[in-house]
Amino acid sequence: MRFDEFNYDENIGGRSGGLLLEALQTIVFALAVSVVIYLFFAIPNQVDGLSMFPNLRDKEILLTNKFLQITGGADGVFKSYDYQRGDMVVFQQPGRPDLVKRLIAGPGDKIKIENNKIYVNSKALIEEYLPSTVVTEPGPFLPNGVEKRIPEGNYFVMGDNRTNSKDSRTNDVGFVERRYLKGSPFLRLFPLDRFGQLDRGKYREVE
């Protein structure tokens, strides 16, 4: 082997090592970004059951915006960037699994269910994200015609499938403290034929 050929082979080895190092750096960077995203911005969640049907279906995988949990609230950095009525929210109360429900009313609001209708601050809530056939029955935590004011730092949530949902109408759930919220789903990842953005539910208020 000529000396110049040996040098050529050595240079190839050097370039290969450089490419390997670059690849490792790229992988480490991607993993670091993924960890930061998971810790501060978004987490995956899987729907379990039919309590949010038809808007969410069993076994669907969602990406949840957890940045809201950091920025909003009374102690948040950006108080205006917070959970809003109509949002889907993921929460986990102590000793229980994650649940995904619809945020119906927030801190300081007055909530009442009467004659299968929801009233927030004495105004009837028309939920445009629900089929027109859906009726909202009361529950043991919020009996028919009883109005309750939601304490500061708490929320009232319900599933979209009102006849098959364990939510704030029940004593087991009741008002949900903000510290138990994990974020708001904003993207459906799976199944692929239903992939897409999850928007805040539209509603109207009627006097």
Gap between the Cα atoms of 133 and 51, Å rounded: 16
Angle subtended at Cα 201 by Cα 196 and Cα 204, rounded to the nearest 5 degrees: 150
Identify the active-site residue in 66, 79, 101, 184.
101
Q: Are 56 and 47 in contact (CB under 8 A)?
A: yes
Structure tokens at 195: 């992939």
Catalytic residue (choose from 16, 34, 51, 123): 51
Q: Is 123 a catalytic residue?
A: no
- Kindly report the number of other CB atoms within 10 A of residue 51's CB atom: 22
Q: Which token pair is 119?
A: 């009233």
User: Which of these, 122, 68, 101, lies nearest to 174 by C-alpha position?
Assistant: 101
Task: Go through the chain and tell me how many residues it has.
Answer: 207
| Whether residue 168 lies in the annotated active site | no
What is the C-alpha to C-alpha distance for residues 14 and 135, in angstroms, rounded to an integer?
Answer: 70
Q: Is 169 exposed, middle or buried (0-12, 13-18, 19+ CB in 10 A)?
A: buried
Give me the active site residues, please: 51, 101
